[in-house]
Structure 1
């Protein structure tokens, strides 16, 4: 018990780099365009949905420690086809999130050539993962300190000088729930601590019981402070048009000298967040291959290439706002399935009550269906196409396997 506070701090430090990414650096622009200042109370709804989903994944990770994340949990609890739908939603959401993180990096770090900068980040991060680089506790703490320190400077600068009067305000309260769905991306990295990958030490339930609320609460506080700062300094109408809100808020607050620090923080946060996004997608693909839903001959290197190519396509094909919306909507569908799966866990496998999974399920569906229409339509189409392709791949593999076995049975022994 004497080591629990230290373990909680370590666990939260491991999770912070996964949640301080595209949401805090770029998410407020499209959100402000929809709901204006209402994005701030919407963050509370997003955080609560994330908290319920984090509880569900933590419970399931403890019950099924060796499976491929949400796909594996749903397969074990609900069956094959719901698991394939879960995998489709997760992979689409991860690809869109990777594109959003990379585009955020390009907008801040390489503003003259943002697409090239984003593609370079995808390639570099994929290579880091391929050579076995891992974010240790020490590296995670360093990333967290750098990013949180710079964000604190942005907030202080935004409130230190009176803003120029805004020409108008954007957004309405009618978009409150939709923006809550969009801003779910601000918290979607919690699986870094609730569902460790194979080979990583799982965190004790007693530690997670404190670390999960602390991680979500700290992320909420950071996003709330940053959102209030950039909204105050830029106004919702101007913020909605900004490709790099934190940079523009510093310029508006007569603190342009701090822009290089924001670029450093965006670069550090971009590498960390993208690393976790790509690793998460890789885990789902690995689970699909191991269960026969994808060709089992696919090697880890080939799966890494698939993930990187999907991220690069998202960068090229989608603007940042659409990528964030698609990432949020698809990820919410993914958590709808994982929360539904968590509801049927046996009571003795639980740390948190079943009501949290029920709330998580309801909120995930509500928020996903309230996201911007283009993101919702693409998510639904991707969910259907992805599920069909996974089912077709499994069917073809089963057919070919049956033919090979039949041929062996009819082949003479001495031939």
Structure 2
């Protein structure tokens, strides 16, 4: 059945709020610090990696509709330990991404108290999620229109007035691949449409065949336009030092009156992206518990509390640039495993050729290993610690279960008391 334009547009609008977040509002600054103007061609490499990974998750979601996202796909295709590594990478990436989104919110909306604003956003969004709030199609369309309209104003303002001569330029073409990896977090929200949660209506393959390229392509165009605008207005040196690039670009372009609109868009985008980040992490934790890698008695409220605490700790411990780097690195490792498992799908389960999964695997590894060394080391250490902790928990639960079984088998069976012969 041929999808209608309405179905395609609705699906794209559903995914956009999960994409237009910390990357477009704050990610351009550390990217410019690494590569300057080379961040613009780097975005094309990032978009290609995201496109391949989106194809892989969409195919696997169709093949395994009732499992916990990438963790479940890898467990079904590659085995237990690769799945545990996948879950660890995903949870580390989600925690760091939560810190990046919250820090972006604090820098734009509460510039006088950015850390307090970031912590408030994490807690408030977690409470909304626990209360059952969901971004429906209608809400997603409104969020998308608000954010896109404000970004269009930023781009128009940045090109409407000649910039002040920059004090210098930063970056080098040799950092292009590293910047492509850093900006991967800007596209990682595509799972909002490629891997819907339980209870959500899956999107038909015919719709996704158009919606995925449109979502990634539209996001690429938005990032390219905004990046070119703020780079023109601020220059790479000033942009690299800016905690809130879009706000500073408007001030430099003599459009300070539009700053409140940017704050509104940053607030709306922050809530939307953080909601998706926490929901996807919650799904992975639920999958781990269901498969016995975590205690099975953990209730949804406890999992939400764990995620909130992890987000708060990440905000306190990691500045924005570090959080973006760790989020990108861990998420790329996650998609390396996801693409690897997509390679072994049966032909009947595929909508896209196996080559896209192979390319996605190669790009994910290449981009992750090209990120700044501190982010790479933190991600690898956290990945190892998380995998070990999951494995230890599973082993302890298995040992405890085996011990209880042995005790039951060894306990003497109670024999019924002898009958007293009746009197004749």
> What TM-score do you get using the length of structure 1 for normalisation?
0.99
Q: C-alpha separation between the residues in 2 aligned to 1:53 and 1:211?
A: 14
Name the residue aligned to 1:215: 215
Q: Indicate how the Cα distance of structure 1 residues 2 and 58 shifts in structure 2: closer, same or farther if over 3 A, else same.
A: closer
> Does residue 385 of structure 1 match 2:385?
yes
Name the residue aligned to 2:173: 173
- Give the aligned length: 415
> Does residue 229 of structure 1 match 2:238?
no
Q: C-alpha separation between the residues in 1 aligned to 2:408 and 2:6?
A: 59
Shift of 1:406: 1.4
Name the residue aligned to 1:135: 135
Shift of 1:5: 1.0
Q: C-alpha separation between the residues in 1 aligned to 2:370 and 2:377?
A: 11
* Contact 2:2/2:206 (<8 A) preserved: no
Name the residue aligned to 2:14: 14
Deviations 1:288-315 (A, max 9, x none): 0000001111111100111111111110
Matches within 5 A, 1:96-135: 96-135=96-135
SS at match of 2:189: coil
Deviations 1:270-298 (A, max 9, x none): 00000000000000000000000011111
Q: C-alpha separation between the residues in 2 aligned to 1:406 and 1:301?
A: 33
Shift of 1:404: 1.1
Unaligned runs of 5+ in 1: none
> Does residue 356 of structure 1 match 2:352?
no
* Contact 2:55/2:356 (<8 A) preserved: yes
> Does residue 38 of structure 1 match 2:65?
no
Unaligned runs of 5+ in 2: 416-424
Q: Which has the higher Rg, Structure 1 or Structure 2?
A: 2
* Contact 2:170/2:236 (<8 A) preserved: yes
Shift of 1:3: 5.2
Shift of 1:412: 3.6
Name the residue aligned to 1:322: 322
Deviations 1:47-77 (A, max 9, x none): 0000000000000000000000000000000
Name the residue aligned to 2:164: 164
Q: C-alpha separation between the residues in 2 aligned to 1:276 and 1:244?
A: 22
Matches within 5 A, 1:201-350: 201-350=201-350
Q: C-alpha separation between the residues in 2 aligned to 1:151 and 1:286?
A: 36
Shift of 1:405: 1.2
Name the residue aligned to 1:403: 403
Name the residue aligned to 2:56: 56
Q: Indicate how the Cα distance of structure 1 residues 237 and 211 shifts in structure 2: closer, same or farther if over 3 A, else same.
A: same
SS at match of 1:327: helix
Shift of 1:135: 0.3
Q: C-alpha separation between the residues in 2 aligned to 1:222 and 1:321?
A: 21
Q: Indicate how the Cα distance of structure 1 residues 328 and 409 shifts in structure 2: closer, same or farther if over 3 A, else same.
A: same
Name the residue aligned to 1:367: 367
Shift of 1:410: 2.4
> What TM-score do you get using the length of structure 2 for normalisation?
0.97
SS at match of 1:189: helix
Deviations 1:166-209 (A, max 9, x none): 01001111100000000011100000000000000000000000
